Structure 1
Amino acid sequence: MLHRPLNTPRVWGGGIALSSLLSGGAYAADLWTKAPPVPYAETDDFWTRPYLFGDLGRTKLKEQGISLSLTLLDEAVTNLSGGSKNTAVNSGQLFFHAKFDMAKLAGIQGGTVGLTLVDRFGDNLNTEAGIPALQLTNEVFGRGNILRLTELYYLQKLFDDRLELKGGRLPAGSDFFFGECEFINLTFCGGQSGNILGNYIYNWPVSQWAGLVHYKLTKELQFSVGVFDANPNYLTTSDSTVYFLPGIPASNPATGVLVPVELTWRPSGPLNGTWRFGGWYDNASTIDGGLPGIIATIPGVGGVPDQNLGDQRGRYGVYESIVQRLTVDGPKAEGWYTFLNTTVADHRTSYQDYQIAWGVKHTGTFAWRPEDEVGFAVGTTHVNSAALSPNAGGNEVPIEVWYGWQATGWMNLKFDAQYVINPGGRGFNAAGVKTDNAWVLGLRTVVQF
């Protein structure tokens, strides 16, 4: 693994775009994802083509049933205030995705094989700057700087595509929860349930053995249910070889199963959207975190309950996620979009027991820049009032704004600013000392190779 720790501040400005090109995102879905790159044409020049290295035969492969992509997502961030020191860090991931259309390759109508590998690198700004925030201020960091098998699945559509069966190695957020990731603060990125309950709901890039069913009740309404192997050993970062292979970790077998259930409404038409309503249940043995309850430990991962309380079984929660187009301002994706996410976890076992996030995005900010965008979001994460922590009952409130510049056909840059109010909940660190609100500036670079 060619990862070098970043122990000193780096220049995070325009230089990161160049370093991205010389060195080589999290996934996104639904409305906020840009349209797939247009089919490559020989007349496309270096600046307008969808891939840095050109087509390289990908168009022909796709016609034959094989789709390949390689993407670099890089986040360079620095804190201007807040924490114990001012510093800058860089983190990112290299993401390889392959999809095989089994109808074209083997004559199996409705069949698809998917493979995703993710290699992460870099450092955590919260740690390096001493910001005691509940949510990451550079969301792409996490789960170890190792190569992970994020997806390896077989998908089969049946009955005129009304029924979809999917099984293999999957992150829960690939098919459930909020699937967008266009902000740098973790509050606004990826599955909220995993953001506040990362000790047993594993977001990208961690995967688990799983099987799930999607069933279209109508053209716009879908019911989904999944069963995920609940094994904390998937979180290991000590042996990337074992956890890269498509096998169940050898030590400490599964502790139970995680079962998410979701009803999804996708209104069609010009003002389309994705409305998700769901919940989950995990049957692993847990310690009741009721009053006086949970002892705070690692933000973003959960709390260690009071060991004197009784052994209980089951953890659960509910959520909603709305992504909706509000206006049509042009012939393509131009217009206003909004999202609203709410996740509430059970009070007995959750150190962070709810998270709410709202945001808007406009595509086609200027008439002469139809692919440029601007985004704004505000949210909150709440610390369980039963937690034995200086921050018990407190709320962390991040605010974020960015401008997205489609610099070339294959590179997007987002110039970003965050303001985190009460990092950690009430704004106290583990010792109960008041901490300042944090100003964080960042640059998010996405390169399609």
Structure 2
Amino acid sequence: MTSRTFGRLRAGGAPLVIIGSFLIAGTAHAYSAFAPDSPYMFGDWGGERTALEDAGVAFSFDYVGEAATILDGGYRDSHVTKYADQFAVGANVDLDKLAGIPDAEFQITMVNRNGHTANDRLSDPDATVGGSNVQEVQGRGPVTRLTQFWYRQRFFDDALAIKLGRIPFGDDFATIDSNFQNLAFGGAQPGNWGNNIYNWPISQWAAVIRTNVASDWYAQLGAFNINDSNLENDNGFDLRTSGAEGTLFPVELGYTPTLNGMEGAYKLGFYTQNVENRAYGDGPATETSDTNTGLYYVVQQQVTTRGGNPDRGLTLFSMGNANHGDTAGIDRYVSIGATYEGPFDARPQDDAGIGLAYLHVNDDVKDYVDYYNATPAGLSSPLPRQGHEYDAEIYYSFNLTHYLALRPNLQYVVNPSAVDSVDNAWVAGTTIQASF
């Protein structure tokens, strides 16, 4: 749980690598390029990077690449390998240092994604609702987007914070530390299964108000503009509000204790929105409903240390999400798992993890499929009935230097795309993570 040199914020299939610049700001060292103890591959720019951080501007240049090979099973039963990646370039500005504005910061991040996913061969292409993705970094098109563009002001010794701008849902809500490659184990799971909840790298105009009611308790409320045009590849830098359809309102209560030196996070959230969505059932796809609500939880707790070192040890986690049956494609999701930091004395910076996730397709989707398959169009080209999907993953992360990690993994998918006629699949994956 404890953040070390490598840290990673997941936004539901949307990783932002935060290696180095945000964790070691203010250091007096001038690291050379490719130095193994440097947090950046290209070093400290002869000390200029540290000087900029001391002045209030911390840059990040990060890369994540994910490969996946279908070893057996899947819809097409083909042994393909697919690769997807992401470049993220950002700057965090401490406005107190730079401009004398106390307790204020500004963040800007641009993200470029490319590549393809093995799910194109793994899942049934005719499925009404999608399942998980064996490469969480893939998605939202091969395009460059403005992912973060926000201002945050803190008040009353950090008792209150207000954040305004272009914000992904997973920046603040349902977050979890994760190094898994399968989408079902990343952060902001409501954005993967709920309607109109946009995860990284999609941002929208939003406001988040957070109050720290105690040192280890907080409550926060958000308002996120819902606009499907944000999903279009041509609108990666479009800041207009025209075409807005409504607003998403998430609320989260969090408890972040440190128990015997071991960190934990316990989060309970609810969200609602005022937008009409497709209503599933035994009728045509034109039916809609304005009932769009959901609940979620996140639990993550370190339970052991290694030699009294809180940076090493076992952490357990679980996440869950329930969505309203009228409009949800996936109405129930739950995951459990464990990670271990520093499993070997010879490699104290490495980590390993294992996880299992369950996705359930709304029964109303099955009713719709049965209705459609009885129509002339369905009789000639029927849709597959969907039920549930299981995803499992085990990984080991070789943190080769402070700026480079190689993370092989093995995944097993039961009923890919929640279609039981699709063969269960074994998938071998590898994640490359670097900070420049």
**1:378 aligned to 341, 345, 356, which one?**
356
**1:278 aligned to 247, 252, 269, which one?**
269
**Partner SS for 1:195:** helix
Following TM superposition, by how much is the alpha carbon of 1:46 offset from its aligned partner in structure 2, in angstroms?
2.2
Following TM superposition, by how much is the alpha carbon of 1:235 offset from its aligned partner in structure 2, in angstroms?
0.5
What is the identity, as a one-letter code, of the residue corresponding to 1:179? I
Cα-to-partner distance string for 1:396-423 (whole Å, 9 max, x where unaligned): 0011001100112210110100000111
**2:326 aligned to 329, 348, 372, which one?**
348
State the match for 1:81 in structure 2: 72
What is the identity, as a one-letter code, of the residue corresponding to 1:445? I
State the match for 1:267 in structure 2: 257
Q: Between 363-372 and 280-289, report the one with greater CA deviation.
A: 280-289
Question: 1:374 & 1:187 partners in 2: Cα distance?
Answer: 17
Is 1:228 matched with 2:224? yes
State the match for 1:59 in structure 2: 50
Structure 1 residues 276 and 283 mapped into 2: Cα distance closer, same or farther (>3 Å)?
Answer: same
Question: 1:279 & 1:34 partners in 2: Cα distance?
Answer: 33
Contact kept? 1:194, 1:203, Cα under 8 Å? yes
What is the identity, as a one-letter code, of the residue corresponding to 1:373? D
Is 1:327 matched with 2:304? yes
Structure 1 residues 37 and 108 mapped into 2: Cα distance closer, same or farther (>3 Å)?
Answer: closer
State the match for 2:8 in structure 1: none
State the match for 2:213 in structure 1: 217
**Partner SS for 2:170:** helix
Is 1:126 matched with 2:105? no
Q: CA RMSD in A?
A: 2.2
Following TM superposition, by how much is the alpha carbon of 1:136 offset from its aligned partner in structure 2, in angstroms?
0.8
State the identity %: 32
State the match for 1:203 in structure 2: 199
State the match for 2:60 in structure 1: 69
Following TM superposition, by how much is the alpha carbon of 1:392 offset from its aligned partner in structure 2, in angstroms?
5.1
State the match for 1:193 in structure 2: 190
**Partner SS for 1:201:** coil
Structure 1 residues 406 and 28 mapped into 2: Cα distance closer, same or farther (>3 Å)?
Answer: closer
Following TM superposition, by how much is the alpha carbon of 1:393 offset from its aligned partner in structure 2, in angstroms?
6.1
State the match for 1:412 in structure 2: 405
**2:29 aligned to 33, 41, 57, which one?**
41
**Partner SS for 2:38:** coil
Is 1:438 matched with 2:425? yes
**1:93 aligned to 69, 79, 86, which one?**
86
**Where do 5+ consecutive residues of structure 2 fail to align?**
1-13, 370-382
Following TM superposition, by how much is the alpha carbon of 1:371 offset from its aligned partner in structure 2, in angstroms?
0.5
State the match for 1:248 in structure 2: 240
Cα-to-partner distance string for 1:32-69 (whole Å, 9 max, x where unaligned): 99993584734766223211100112211111111111
Q: Between 173-182 and 362-371, report the one with greater CA deviation.
A: 173-182
Structure 1 residues 40 and 439 mapped into 2: Cα distance closer, same or farther (>3 Å)?
Answer: farther
Contact kept? 1:166, 1:211, Cα under 8 Å? yes
State the match for 1:160 in structure 2: 157
What TM-score do the two structures reach when normalised by structure 1? 0.83
Q: How many residues align?
A: 396
Contact kept? 2:174, 2:267, Cα under 8 Å? yes
Q: Between 322-331 and 124-133, report the one with greater CA deviation.
A: 124-133
Is 1:360 matched with 2:338? yes
**Partner SS for 2:418:** coil
**Partner SS for 1:50:** coil
What is the identity, as a one-letter code, of the residue corresponding to 2:35? F
Is 1:175 matched with 2:168? no
**Where do 5+ consecutive residues of structure 1 fail to align?**
1-24, 294-304, 428-433
Following TM superposition, by how much is the alpha carbon of 1:178 offset from its aligned partner in structure 2, in angstroms?
2.9
Structure 1 residues 332 and 180 mapped into 2: Cα distance closer, same or farther (>3 Å)?
Answer: closer
**Partner SS for 2:331:** strand
Question: 1:351 & 1:323 partners in 2: Cα distance?
Answer: 26
State the match for 2:5 in structure 1: none
Question: 2:269 & 2:29 partners in 1: Cα distance?
Answer: 43
**Partner SS for 2:236:** helix
Contact kept? 1:152, 1:168, Cα under 8 Å? yes
Question: 1:163 & 1:130 partners in 2: Cα distance?
Answer: 45
Question: 1:40 & 1:419 partners in 2: Cα distance?
Answer: 46
**Partner SS for 1:61:** helix
State the match for 2:133 in structure 1: 136
What TM-score do the two structures reach when normalised by structure 2? 0.86
State the match for 1:9 in structure 2: none
